[in-house]
Structure 1
Amino acid sequence: MGEMVRKQGEGAFEKRIHIMNDEGEIISQGIVKNNSTTSQPDSTDDENGTNQTLEDWLPITRSRKGNSWTATFHLLCSGIGIQTLSLPLAFVYLGWVWGILCLCVAFVWQLYTIGLLVSLNESVSGTRYSRYLQLSIVAFGDKLGKVFALFPVMYLSTGTCVIFIITGGGTMKLFYQLLCDDCSSKHPLTTTEWFLVFVCLAILVSLFCRDLHSVALVSFVGSLMAVGYCTTLWVLFVAKGRVNDAVYDPSEVVASEAGRARSILNALGIIAVAFRGHNVVLEIQGTMPSTPNRSSTKFMWKGVIASYLIIAMCFFPLAIVGYWAFGNKIPVNGGLLRALSTTLHHRTSKPVLGLIYVQVVISCVAAFQIYSMVVYDNLERAYASRKNQECSKLTRIGIRILFGGLTFFISVAFPFLQTLALLIGGIALHMTFGYPCLMWIAIKRPPVKSVSWCLNIGLGCLGVGLSVLVFVGAVWNLACRGLDANFFHPS
């Protein structure tokens, strides 16, 4: 026999059930249900009553259907860039032994820091840090975390996209000149117009990519193109053989001691800057599902191993064979791409040159999508947090067009940024070699003076110091050689 009495209080229903037990005694049991709703800044209910969080609205974490294959494509596309073509120039200043040694050390070092980032994605049970900025805030606190990571992340993502525009647009121009060398066109496109063509193409592709996971197919094509032009180049160099009068002695390239020190710093910077993409590793892992039985860390690590084995097969042959083929004849600005359009222009067939140019352009368009997604995510987060709703399609399109216009303006206003790659990269180099180690210590808190503590504190300090050295070397080199600052006049 039972009876229910309901009492309504302040925002609460109290359900009380009276039940008679076997001994004839009446037992009263109360169930309290709170009717008042607490505000959740990162969650809301949609029209169907389904609970949605802020993470479900943003481009990085909207879709968590990724796997080891998509992670491999993203990492390859974002990890191989135009800076790879400058690796033989580092060997010009370091020589064979030191060049190979430094390249090996940098490769192992950055692979170790990627492993730290992957492990920190789920360092707290039930919580995922799918953005570099989030991890920095957890490690260093709200204020310091934003200071250490917000500007470098946005600066690095935007700056990388600008480099893509300059490289992709310039390569489009080279491809057009290759096809229409004897064209009778009286009004060929200027470099600025080629920049605009590249931006329009990149933004058009981004309009069909709602989130980072939807970029997987584009990343697959981009990774094929990146691996393709790296492989095509070093195979071409082997086939064509060495250029005449190539010199392999670093002491003959730079005579003075000051020049030698400056060139070594620049060589270290070239090797360090060639390894990129750490600012999007957590974002890539954020596209993968994770359950207690199937952690995303395991599958992400498979993608990292697969992608960086392929990256190693691109970097090392290109650096070694490129140095063997050209020696000290490699152009200071532009690397092998410039050498290809000058020294080897008349020694290589048009189809092969055209294939390399097309591969470079498609690779830049694809990588643009990955790095720009970090910026879109931050801008959409600001909008969704303020409006407490998901960005509409029109707003999303507006954000992408606005970002495309901003990067296009920067590329036209500062078309010489490619010559400042070491200066630009040196500012954010600690995000690759330093910060992951320091964040691991701050979050994992290993015993002081333990092996893991000493290793990570040492690598973290060395990474920050390397960033400072590369920046100093770039400024020193700029002061000695000068800068052709052709503002608003892309050549």
Structure 2
Amino acid sequence: MTLDNNVNIDDWLPVTSNRNAKWWYSTFHNVTAMVGAGVLSLPFAMSELGWGPGVTVMVLSWVVTLYTLWEMVEMHEMIPGKRFDRYHELGQHAFGEKLGLWIVVPQQLIVEVGSDIVYMVTGGKSMKKIHELVCHDCKPIKLTYFILIFSSVHFVISHLPNLNSVSIISLAAAIMSLSYSTIAWAASLVKGVNENVDYSYRGKTPTAQTMNFFTALGDVAFAFAGHNVVLEIQATMPSSPERPSKEPMWKGVKFAYIVVAICYFPVAWIGYYTFGNSVEDNVLISLEEPVWLIIAANVFVLVHVIGSYQVFAMPVFDMLETFLVKKMKFKPTSILRFVTRNVYVAFTVFVAITFPFFGGLLGFFGGFAFAPTSYFLPCIIWLRICKPKRFSFTWCTNWFCIIFGGLLMMLAPIGALRNIIQTAKNYEFYS
């Protein structure tokens, strides 16, 4: 397929080639992007934060990120006749053509590419766990091989043309996320509280407790990382002066955030209530029984991360294809798309099998990107563009979000760096 020179390149790019999405597309795309398998580590994060700080940080994160998501939805068409279809386009409008790119694109790529690498590792680990539970006496298989098996799916479905074309996969992923989250908290509730349950901090020393606290802040920030694709999701919706895209988009976002609350809060709080500071970093491992239920939950996780990978990959494909066609002057052909997407999937596979502890690395790098893009970069853009009156409610709210997100950005990488150093000491490549 080769496009005629008269055809608008936006009609070929994956984010803008199809604008017929319904409001419910927004719901399950946002759920798929937001509710990653990281929800299963929230009880572990609670064990490092403690009841008071843990509940406070989680509720504040939910409220703050819902507010910043509303701001992004509003800013998508704040200039009549123009749509900011991509996060970096909004950044360029706020900070200038060059500075906007340098502020937004590196952070967005860290979140999207980093998340895809984590999903590769998570998919491989889920397959490995299923194999171990189903076949007790089988010879152990390296995690590397399971990651390679998982990646084979993406070498196929990554060639779907645009975000709307993965909507069925995204819907299945959203249903799966709700399913395994429900299994996690319901099974914990049925199991009942452990004997001699301990809610004291996990670390043995004040230093360890402090570092764990910082790491847990990063885990919570990672759980609210869906903002990086929200403008791209809204770009798939039709818009007219009578019915702008923000109306169906916001309707979908509200439903998505209800699902996020249903998934996050019960898993985090019931899981911690049941196991205390002995909870594993994946609450399903702490449960262990019944085996069939844990197998089912891991199957649901597996399906979910397939969808999550694609929702985060589509904006990356859009960036790569835009750069190659507009800057490097390649012709927009199916061959270009085939090669570009296969190279991207291969790259994420390579990093995943080389650094299967990439989640720790993401906590380090993600502290600089997850918190800004979700918690306070939308607020800075809002202040620059809308210029609310100083000390008004809107001005104060945005500055509160900026301070809260800024603290997360500074503190989370400190604990993550310590974990990376400890993990790397005994790590063997491709083991």
What TM-score results when the alignment is normalised by the length of structure 1?
Answer: 0.82
Q: Post-superposition shift, 1:475?
A: 2.5
Q: 1:310 aligns with which of 239, 259, 268?
A: 259
Give yes or no for the alignment of 1:289 onto 2:289: no
Q: What value does the CA root-mean-square deviation take over the aligned residues?
A: 2.2
Specify which structure has the higher proportion of strand: 1
Q: Post-superposition shift, 1:83?
A: 1.5
Following the alignment from structure 1 to structure 2, what is the Cα–Cα distance between the partners of residues 405 and 268?
31
Q: Hey, what does 1:178 align to over in structure 2?
A: 133
Q: 2:350 aligns with which of 393, 400, 409?
A: 409
Q: Post-superposition shift, 1:46?
A: 4.1
Q: Is the 8 A contact 1:131 1:283 kept in 2?
A: yes
Q: Post-superposition shift, 1:65?
A: 0.6
Q: Post-superposition shift, 1:165?
A: 0.6
Residue 452 to residue 275, structure 1, CA distance change in 2 (3 Å)? same
Q: Hey, what does 2:283 align to over in structure 1?
A: 336
Give yes or no for the alignment of 1:142 onto 2:89: no
Q: Hey, what does 1:205 align to over in structure 2?
A: 157
Q: Hey, what does 1:427 align to over in structure 2?
A: 368
Q: 1:451 aligns with which of 387, 393, 398?
A: 393
The 5 Å alignment of 1:76-475 reads 76-183=31-138, 189-207=141-159, 209-250=160-201, 253-331=202-280, 334-337=281-284, 340=285, 343-345=286-288, 347-349=289-291, 351-386=292-327, 391-428=332-369, 429-475=371-417
Q: Post-superposition shift, 1:180?
A: 2.0
Q: Post-superposition shift, 1:257?
A: 3.4
Following the alignment from structure 1 to structure 2, what is the Cα–Cα distance between the partners of residues 366 and 254?
35
Q: Post-superposition shift, 1:389?
A: 7.5
Q: Post-superposition shift, 1:485?
A: 6.0
Following the alignment from structure 1 to structure 2, what is the Cα–Cα distance between the partners of residues 417 and 387?
31
Q: Is the 8 A contact 2:187 2:287 kept in 1?
A: no
Q: Is the 8 A contact 2:40 2:184 kept in 1?
A: no
Q: Hey, what does 1:25 align to over in structure 2?
A: none
Q: Hey, what does 2:11 align to over in structure 1?
A: 56
Q: Report Cα offsets for 1:373-405 as digits up to 9, x if no partner.
A: 111101111222147676222221211111111
Q: Is the 8 A contact 2:234 2:245 kept in 1?
A: yes
Residue 387 to residue 143, structure 1, CA distance change in 2 (3 Å)? closer
Following the alignment from structure 1 to structure 2, what is the Cα–Cα distance between the partners of residues 366 and 327?
32
Residue 193 to residue 94, structure 1, CA distance change in 2 (3 Å)? closer
Q: What number of residue pairs does the alignment pair up?
A: 429
Following the alignment from structure 1 to structure 2, what is the Cα–Cα distance between the partners of residues 419 and 447?
41
Name the aligned partner's letter for residue 210 of structure 2.
A
* Larger displacement relative to structure 2 (301-310 or 453-462): 453-462
Name the aligned partner's letter for residue 161 of structure 1.
D
Residue 114 to residue 354, structure 1, CA distance change in 2 (3 Å)? same
Q: Is the 8 A contact 2:14 2:161 kept in 1?
A: yes
Following the alignment from structure 1 to structure 2, what is the Cα–Cα distance between the partners of residues 255 and 171?
31
Residue 88 to residue 127, structure 1, CA distance change in 2 (3 Å)? same
Name the aligned partner's letter for residue 63 of structure 2.
V
Q: Report Cα offsets for 1:218-242 as digits up to 9, x if no partner.
A: 1000101111100011111112222
Structure number with the bigger relative contact order (C-alpha 8 A, sep ≥ 6) is 2
Following the alignment from structure 1 to structure 2, what is the Cα–Cα distance between the partners of residues 256 and 485?
22
Q: Is the 8 A contact 1:212 1:373 kept in 2?
A: yes
Q: Report Cα offsets for 1:32-59 as digits up to 9, x if no partner.
A: xxxxxxxxxxxxx948xxx632221210
Q: Post-superposition shift, 1:95?
A: 2.5
Following the alignment from structure 2 to structure 1, what is the Cα–Cα distance between the partners of residues 164 and 405?
31
Q: Post-superposition shift, 1:477?
A: 5.0
Name the aligned partner's letter for residue 201 of structure 1.
V
Q: Post-superposition shift, 1:289?
A: 0.7
Overall identity of the aligned pairs, in %? 33
Q: Is the 8 A contact 1:132 1:149 kept in 2?
A: yes
What TM-score results when the alignment is normalised by the length of structure 2?
Answer: 0.93
